[in-house]
Structure 1
Amino acid sequence: MVTHKAHRHRFPGPVKIFHELVLPETATPAGYAALIDAYGLRAPLPLTLAATGERHIVRTESGWHIFTPRHAPEPNLEAHLTFALKHEGLDLAVLKHLFVAVGAAEIEAIVRAKPTGRYSRRIWFLYEWLLGSRLDLPDATNGPYEPVVDPKLQWAISGEASHRHRVKNNLPGTPGFCPLVFRTKALDNFAAMNLASRAQEVVADVPKDILARTAAFLLLKDSRSSFAIEGESPSHDRIRRWGRAIGESGRRPLELEELLRLQAIVIGEERFVRLGLRKEGGFVGEHDRDARTPIPDHISAKPQDLQSLVNGMVAFDRGAALSLDAVIAAAVLAFGFVYAHPFMDGNGRIHRYLIHHVLAQRGFNPAGVVFPVSASILARIAEYRAALESYSVRLLPMIEWQPTKDGNVQVLNETADFYRYFDATPHAEFLYNCVRQTIEEDLPRETEFLKRYDQFRTSIETILEMPTRTIDQLFRFLHQNAGHLSKRARGKEFRLLKEDEVAAVEAAYFASFTAATIERPRQKQTGRKK
C-alpha cells in the first residue's frame, strides 16, 4: 500500500443517498464516486456510479453498479483509482480534475511504489497525457505493454505504443477532444449487424434510375427534416441548398473554414446573425417571462475555448474517426459539436451534417445515397432529446454562471474539459438505432415505392393519354383516399373521366400498391413549426 497525503482526505462510508442520488441499498461509494466526494471534484458525475454493498452479489440498478464487500478498495487514492480503471473504465474529465487536485507528487509516489504495475503505468500515462506535464520519473523499463483504454469496457482504436510508460495509447482522440463510448450489448449487437453491407445489399438490385430518384428524395427529406427539428419552415430554395450541402458531405476535409461555409449556407440571411465563432456566451433554454433572466437547459462552451475545441474535433475527424466504428465516430463528433455550440445559430443542423460527413467519409452508405438521419431523428424526437439531456443534466450543475444585461449567460469557471471529455454511449446507441431504421426500413420502402409507382404510371399510360404531371396528381388523390378517387376529384379535377375509366384507374392503383407501401406521401409533410 502506498502511504501519501491522500490519507488526509475523508473517503465516504456507507450511505443511502449520494450527491442527491438514491442508492438501491445502503452501500459505500467506490472508484470515481469516492474520489469525487473525497477530493471535492467539480466534474459531471458518471452515468453509472460504483459502490460496494453488504451482499455477495453484483448488480446494476438505478444508475448504480453495486459490487460485493470483497471488491471494496482501501480508503486511499491509489486503491480507488485502481478500482475505477479496473471496473469503471476511463472518465477523462474526472481524472483530469483529480490529477490537478492531488498534484504531481501523489502520482509519482504511486508509480515509484509499483513501477511495473499495470494500473500505475496507465495512471502515469494519463496524468502526462491529460495535463501535458512530465512527471519526475524515469522511463519504464519493465512490464508488458498495457492498453490505456480497456477494450472490453470501452471502444478504442488500435493505438500506438508509449515507450516511456510501456502502455499502448489506444485512446480514440487527443487531449483536445476525446469523448468515450462504453461497450454495451446494444452497441455490440449493432456492430455485428454490419449495416453498411446491408445497405449495399438493399440497393444492389435497384435499377440506377430508381436509385437516383430514391437518393434525391431521401436527400430532400433529410434537409427538410433537419429544419423541422429546429422548428423552422424555410423556403423550398433554402431546403434545396442545404440538401446540396448534405449531398456533398464527406468530400471536403473538416476544418473551421468548412464549418463556417456550412453555417453561411444554413443561415442564409446574415443581417440578424453574426457568422463565425461566438464572441459571447450561449445557452439553450428559455427566459424568465418577467425578469428576462436566462433559464438554461444547457450552457454552451465559453467563447475563448471554442477555437481549441474545434481544433480538437478536427483532429478527431482526421485521426480516431478514421479507425473507430463509423457510427460511433459520427455520434462522438456530432454530439460533441452540438454540446460546444460554437456558433450563434445553425449548430443543430451542422451537428446533423457532421453525422453525414463521417458516414460518407467512411463509405458507410451506398455511393450517392444519403441516409435520412434527420428524418429518423424527427420521428424519434423524444429519444433524441433524452440523448442530449443524458449529459446536459449532469453538466449544468458543474457550470458557474451569471446572467448578462442582454439576457445571456457569462460562465465564471473553467469548463472546456467538460466538452472535450464526456460519455457518448447514449448518443451512439441512439444514432445506431436511427441508422438501422434508415437501412432496414426507409431505404427499402422508398425504392419499393418508386418501383410500384412506375408500375402504376405505366398502367395509366396504357389506359389514358395523360401528361406526367396529371398522372402525379391522379396518384396523389388515389393515395390520399385509400385507392379510390374521391367524389370531389371526380367532380372537379378529373370530371372528364368516364365511369369505366375511373374503375380502370382504381384497379391500376390496387394492382400496384399494397398497405405496406402507402406511407411515403405523408412523410413529405414536414417542416412545420412545433
Structure 2
Amino acid sequence: MVDVPVGQLWLIENLHLRVPPPAVTSYCGPGARRTTTGNGRTIEKYSTPYAPEDTTAGHLKFALKNEPVDSAVMAAAMKAIDPGVIKDMVRAEPNGAFSRRAWFLYEFFTRETLDLPDAPVVQYTKALNPELNVGSVGVNSVRHRVTNNMLGVPGFCVTVRPTPAIRGFQAEGIDEQARELVQDCDPTVLARAVNYLYTKETKSSFEIERERATGQKAERFINALRKTASFNPASDQDLVDLQNQIVDPRYAAKGFRDFQNFVGETIGYREKVHFVCPRPQDLPSLMKDWASMSERLQGCDDAVAAAAAISFSFVFLHPFEDGNGRIHRFLIHHVLSREGFTPHDVLFPISAAIVRDQKLYDAALESFSRPTMDFIDWEMNRAQQVVVTNDTSALYRYFDATELVEYLYAKISETIRIDFKEELDFMAVYDTAYNAVREVIDMPDRRASMFVNFYMQNHGSISKRKRAMFDELSDEDIEDLEAAIREALSPEPADNGDDEREVPSPKNGL
C-alpha cells in the first residue's frame, strides 16, 4: 500500500479544482503518524486508522477536523460540490460541529441558501479552529450556530496559519515594547524623532522602487502618511485621491485602471513577465470585495495579520498604473494605526527595514505570485501587451497569506528594535550635544545644529573639510566645543554610522 491524499488535497484532485495546493497537505497509509516541514510547506502523514470515508463528505469532514482551512481550496470546493452532499451531512448530523461548519462555509462562499431549516439550539462552533487558523473577530451566524471568524468576506478571504514564527511574535508583544519606549521618552524628543521617521519612511519607500524622494514628491508622501487616521480604504475616492497625491501629476489616475497590466522587466526588445495582475473587467468587483474585507478586518484579533492581508492583497490587485507599491506600504501604516497597534501619532519606518534586505521582500511577494502564475493563462500579443485568456479572479480573492504575515511581523519587530529605538536614543544624545555646544558658545540655532551634525557624522570630531564651514571659529573654539560634547556624552558619543542628515535643533522644533 502507498500513502494516498486525504482532506483538501483529495478535494483538489477529485473535484478537479484549479487552485494552488494548500501549504499543509495530508496523506494516509501504513506506518506511524509523522509531520514533515520544509520550504514553507508541511506534509502530514496519518496512519491507516485515520483514513476518512472515501467520499466528498468524508474528506471534507477530515479537512475541517485536522487541517487549516485554505480559503482558496475551500471556496473552489464549495462551488464545485453538489449541494446535496452538504444537505445530507447536515441532515445526518444536525447537531454536529463539522456538518454545521461545512454548511456555513458552503453558504458563505457560494452565497446560496440551501433548503435546510436553521440549526437547532446547540453550542456555537467557530468556522476556523483557532488552533489551526488565525481568525478575525467573531460574528455569530444564528442559522448555522457557527461563529464567523473568517479573515475576510465571501468575495475576498485569506488564510493565515498560526505558525511557530507567528505565535512567537504574538507572544513577544512587540506593540507593547513600542509603547514602553514612547512612555519612557521625553515628549519633545519623541516629537522630533517621529518627525524624522516620517522622512526616513518616505525616503525608504521610494528607494524600494529605485526612486529618489526629493522636493515636492517627498513632501506629498509625508503629508499622506500624516493623514493615515482619516483615510478610508473602503472609499474608492480616498484611494484615487491618495494615488494622485503621491505620484507625478502627469500619472494621476481618475479611477481604477481599465487596461491589463503586469509586473516585469524589459530585456532587449522583449518583456520578461514576473507577475500578471487581474484582468481589467474583474477589477471593479475585486476592489469592491477588497474594500469589504478591509472593513471586516477592523478589530481583528491580530492587527499584523490584518495589515498584511489588506496591504499585500492591494498590491497584487495593482489597481493603478503608478503608485501601487507606495500605497501598499501606506496601507500597512494605516491598518496598524487604525487597530491601535502603533502608538498614537507615531510611525514605524517599516520601509527602512524592508530596504535593508530587499531580497526578502521580493521573496515574500513571490510567495503569492509564483504559485499564482502557474494558474494564469496568458500570452503576449504583437504590441507587447499581455492578454489573459482564462478566468483568474478567484486567484486574487482567496490565498494563503501566512508567509506575508510572518514577513511583516519580522519587519515590524526589526524596525522597533533598530530604527525606532535607535532614533529615540540618537535624538536624546543629539540634544545633549546641542546643549553642550550652546553652553560654550552662544551660536545661532542652525549653526549649532550643523556643528553637532558634523560631529556625530564624523564619530566624535569635526573633519578638516567641515571646519572650513565655521570660519568664524578659531581652532581653539572648535576644540573647546568638541571637548564639551565629549564630556557631555561621556563615556562615548553615539555612533550614528554614515547617516548624513540634518537634525532639527531643539529650539527649532519640528
Q: Which one-letter code corresponds to 1:467 in the other structure?
A: P
For residue 470 of structure 1, the aligned residue among 435, 447, 452 is 447
The aligned counterpart of 2:33 is 57
For 2:444 and 2:31, the matched residues in 1 are separated by 77
The aligned counterpart of 2:11 is 35
Q: Tell whether the 8 Å contact from 2:6 to 2:27 is kept in structure 1 after alignment.
A: yes
Cα distance, 1:59–1:523 mapped onto 2, change above 3 Å: farther
For 1:108 and 1:515, the matched residues in 2 are separated by 74
Q: Tell whether the 8 Å contact from 1:445 to 1:517 is kept in structure 2 after alignment.
A: no
Q: Which one-letter code corresponds to 2:19 in the other structure?
A: A
Instruction: Report the alpha carbon displacement of residue 477 of structure 1 after superposing the two structures with TM.
Output: 3.0
Q: What secondary structure sits across from 1:178 in the alignment?
A: strand
Identical positions, percent:
36
Matches within 5 A, 1:392-403: 392-403=369-380
Aligned residue pairs, count: 497
The aligned counterpart of 1:197 is 176
Cα deviation digits, residues 78-122 of structure 1 (max 9, x gap): 222122222222112212222333332333333334333322221
Query: Is 1:266 aligned to residue 242 of structure 2?
Result: no
For 1:257 and 1:454, the matched residues in 2 are separated by 43
Q: What secondary structure sits across from 2:228 in the alignment?
A: coil
Q: Which one-letter code corresponds to 1:61 in the other structure?
A: T
Cα distance, 1:112–1:303 mapped onto 2, change above 3 Å: same
For residue 68 of structure 1, the aligned residue among 46, 50, 53 is 46
Q: What secondary structure sits across from 2:264 in the alignment?
A: strand
Q: Tell whether the 8 Å contact from 1:330 to 1:358 is kept in structure 2 after alignment.
A: yes
Instruction: Report the alpha carbon displacement of residue 518 of structure 1 after superposing the two structures with TM.
Output: 2.1
Instruction: Report the alpha carbon displacement of residue 249 of structure 1 after superposing the two structures with TM.
Output: 0.2
Query: Is 1:506 aligned to residue 486 of structure 2?
Result: no
For residue 64 of structure 2, the aligned residue among 77, 80, 85 is 85
The aligned counterpart of 1:528 is none
For 1:168 and 1:251, the matched residues in 2 are separated by 31
The aligned counterpart of 1:351 is 328
Q: What secondary structure sits across from 2:133 in the alignment?
A: coil
For 1:456 and 1:49, the matched residues in 2 are separated by 59
Cα deviation digits, residues 330-381 of structure 1 (max 9, x gap): 1110011111111111111001111111111122222221111211221232
Instruction: Report the alpha carbon displacement of residue 275 of structure 1 after superposing the two structures with TM.
Output: 4.1
Instruction: Report the alpha carbon displacement of residue 278 of structure 1 after superposing the two structures with TM.
Output: 1.2
Q: Which one-letter code corresponds to 1:432 in the other structure?
A: Y
Q: Which moved more, 1:190-199 or 1:172-181?
A: 190-199
Matches within 5 A, 1:316-395: 316-395=293-372
Q: Tell whether the 8 Å contact from 2:25 to 2:43 is kept in structure 1 after alignment.
A: yes
Query: Is 1:256 aligned to residue 236 of structure 2?
Result: yes
Instruction: Report the alpha carbon displacement of residue 521 of structure 1 after superposing the two structures with TM.
Output: 5.4
The aligned counterpart of 1:19 is none
Q: Which moved more, 1:148-157 or 1:273-282?
A: 273-282
The aligned counterpart of 2:394 is 417
Instruction: Report the alpha carbon displacement of residue 415 of structure 1 after superposing the two structures with TM.
Output: 1.9
Q: Tell whether the 8 Å contact from 1:99 to 1:127 is kept in structure 2 after alignment.
A: yes
For residue 430 of structure 1, the aligned residue among 407, 412, 422 is 407
Q: What secondary structure sits across from 2:80 in the alignment?
A: helix
For 1:133 and 1:57, the matched residues in 2 are separated by 38
Cα distance, 1:288–1:73 mapped onto 2, change above 3 Å: farther
Cα deviation digits, residues 405-444 of structure 1 (max 9, x gap): 4323222222222212111111112112222223333222
Instruction: Report the alpha carbon displacement of residue 55 of structure 1 after superposing the two structures with TM.
Output: 3.0
Instruction: Report the alpha carbon displacement of residue 515 of structure 1 after superposing the two structures with TM.
Output: 6.8
Q: Tell whether the 8 Å contact from 1:186 to 1:429 is kept in structure 2 after alignment.
A: yes
For 1:172 and 1:402, the matched residues in 2 are separated by 33
TM-score by length of 1: 0.87
For 2:201 and 2:29, the matched residues in 1 are separated by 49
For 1:486 and 1:331, the matched residues in 2 are separated by 45
For 2:422 and 2:337, the matched residues in 1 are separated by 21
Q: Tell whether the 8 Å contact from 2:28 to 2:46 is kept in structure 1 after alignment.
A: yes
Cα distance, 1:179–1:509 mapped onto 2, change above 3 Å: same
Q: Which one-letter code corresponds to 1:225 in the other structure?
A: S
Q: Tell whether the 8 Å contact from 2:11 to 2:56 is kept in structure 1 after alignment.
A: yes
Q: What secondary structure sits across from 2:115 in the alignment?
A: coil
Cα distance, 1:235–1:481 mapped onto 2, change above 3 Å: closer
For 1:516 and 1:316, the matched residues in 2 are separated by 49
Q: Which one-letter code corresponds to 1:328 in the other structure?
A: A
Matches within 5 A, 1:152-231: 152-231=131-210
Q: Which one-letter code corresponds to 2:198 in the other structure?
A: L
Q: Tell whether the 8 Å contact from 1:377 to 1:434 is kept in structure 2 after alignment.
A: yes
Q: Which moved more, 1:384-393 or 1:500-509?
A: 500-509
Q: Which moved more, 1:169-178 or 1:459-468?
A: 459-468
Query: Is 1:138 aligned to residue 117 of structure 2?
Result: yes
The aligned counterpart of 1:459 is 436
For residue 462 of structure 2, the aligned residue among 450, 470, 485 is 485
Q: Tell whether the 8 Å contact from 2:240 to 2:253 is kept in structure 1 after alignment.
A: no
Q: Tell whether the 8 Å contact from 2:282 to 2:393 is kept in structure 1 after alignment.
A: yes
The aligned counterpart of 2:506 is none
Q: Which one-letter code corresponds to 1:399 in the other structure?
A: I
